[in-house]
Amino acid sequence: MKKLSPLQIERLKYQPKLPASLAKGINSLELVEGDATQSVRDQEQIKALFKNTYGKPVVTFNSSSASTPSSVRNVGVILSGGQAPGGHNVIAGLYDALKQANPANKLYGFLGGPSGIIDGKYVEFNDEFIDAYRNTGGFDIIGSGRTKLETEEQFQKSLEVCKKLNISAVVIIGGDDSNTNAALLAEWFVKNNAGIQVIGCPKTIDGDLKNEQIEISFGFDTATKTYAELIGNIQRDANSAKKYWHFIKIMGRSASHVALEAALQTQPNITLISEEVEEKKMSLESIINYMTDIIVKRADMGKNFGIAIIPEGLIEFIPEMKSMIANLNDIMAALENDPDFVNATTIREKFDIVENRLDPENAKVYNSLPALIKGQLLADRDPHGNVQVSKIETEKLLIEMITTRLDELKSQGEYIGKFSAQSHFFGYEGRCAFPSNFDADYCYSLGFNAFALINFGLTGYLSSIRNLTKPATEWVAGGVPLTMMMNMEKRHGEFKPVIQKALVRLDGPVFKALEECREDWALNDRYLFPGAVQYFGPCEVCDITTCTLQLERAKELASV
């Protein structure tokens, strides 16, 4: 028998909380429809691509005094994309609602992500199987994958597998790309009279899948609390030893929500926000100067230590770096077949060849970079031949360039301190953590609610649980049409319908909260130490959600 830790044993016993409407029973609900919707942008193009699923209303559920019997349904579920804490509870909530509706219902889990439904690899869940994964982190219950569902052949194979298992609905648990695939699959099923519904669930620790109806994506709460604990530990160490600057890169390539939330929870000395860098057109040099200025001022106060938070995707938001990387992507395909480049005996020779091929301004930027980063820009291309920016050690780039700048200032007598830096990257540490009580409740509700959407015959919807800063009993259950969140974006040379990413709003209350405190935090040690995620104790400690959600909801409620 598999041995479990004491915490695992206790977490398996936890019963997640549900909104009052869902808690009364899956067969005792009434559906309330709102107004017709439209996509966030490019309405005519999106409408033309989703003729059968466009313009549907937002829906909410209320409890009903009547109980309606549920017909027998088989449902399939897919975990898609990167892991996020709480995914297991989405499946548990879906399973419990399905079995509550009709004990004869069956739930199938497709293995390894979307490829499972294409290849017909699956497992049927039962009580014992599900009970072993309740309130746990990870996606290991059925595994995940990044296969896209977008071609006619893939849709046809998915249909054949669903027919074989007599599946009438599929739930796709994923982020913006995965739910874009859910929207495409839903449209194809309706167009071809397949009789199969598709429902999505909003997952991503990056926090960039949200809008007025989707207040937060699941996993963000747990991941940011996990990173904040680690940052707090490092801040305590830095404040004890008083001799290191810690440069901490945090996961979140397209948006800086994770870095921003972690900063609000811990109050470090420096926090870079990618969206701000892009908006203000900050050059790499100006970022170095900004950070160096704080380091020098702290050194003048006798503080040769500090904490800097850096978003994973920062390098792509720096204008000259973005231009150089785009230029580099264009020339690398040719260089990989160039005899001079392939046969170069030293890395420096390769650097010279690249610089000669780049446009003059981009070559100048490339030449200014440390050898470590120049080498990383030439290695580990993705399947499309592009730089894997997430593997660029931005934190080490900043350390090296700041060290050079401080040496210059020291030689000019303008810096008398000591600079010793440590680099960290927090990513995988947060993706499979034990879900917080908030994520355990939220995810269970999302899964339970997903079956409610299925029970009412809806398709092309995203499971939505709102009013999340209130106790769980006051949460509002419902659904959002996936097409409502879509726009057209250029992907690999052609425009495609995709769910619009929600980036950090510089005019929003969350960024403003950071902006108001930055100068104070830079020079004064206002460090907060959040400690580990708490599962047992008073609700103000165990059930509290992120600063981001509290600030955003406070503004929304104030405007009501």
Residue 431 CA, distance from chain mean position = 9
Sheet with 421-426: strands ordered across: 270-271, 306-311, 245-250, 421-426
User: Measured between alpha carbons, how far is residue 451 from residues 123, 315, 380, 454 in Å?
Assistant: 19, 41, 41, 5
Q: Catalytic residue, from 96, 176, 177, 206: name it.
A: 206
C-beta separation of 476 from 59 below 8 A: no
C-beta separation of 173 from 188 below 8 A: no
Query: Among residues 109, 103, 111, which one has the least CA distance to residue 91?
Result: 109
| Helix pair 394-411, 371-378: axis angle to 10 deg | 160
Judge whether 338 counts as a catalytic residue.
Answer: no
**Spatial separation of the C-alpha atoms in residues 254 and 208, rounded to whole Å:** 8
DSSP type of residue 390: G
C-beta separation of 219 from 431 below 8 A: yes
State whether residue 91 is helix, strand or coil. Answer: helix
Residue 457 phi/psi, 5-degree rounding, is: 75, 20
DSSP letters spanning 274-338: HHHHHHTT--HHHHHHHHHHHHHHHHHTT---EEEEEETTHHHHSHHHHHHHHHHHHHHHHHTT-
**Spatial separation of the C-alpha atoms in residues 417 and 405, rounded to whole Å:** 13
C-beta separation of 295 from 235 below 8 A: no
Query: Among residues 264, 255, 258, 272, which one has the least CA distance to residue 232?
Result: 264
For residue 99, the surrounding DSSP H or E stretch is helix 87-101
Q: What residues are labeled active site?
A: 206
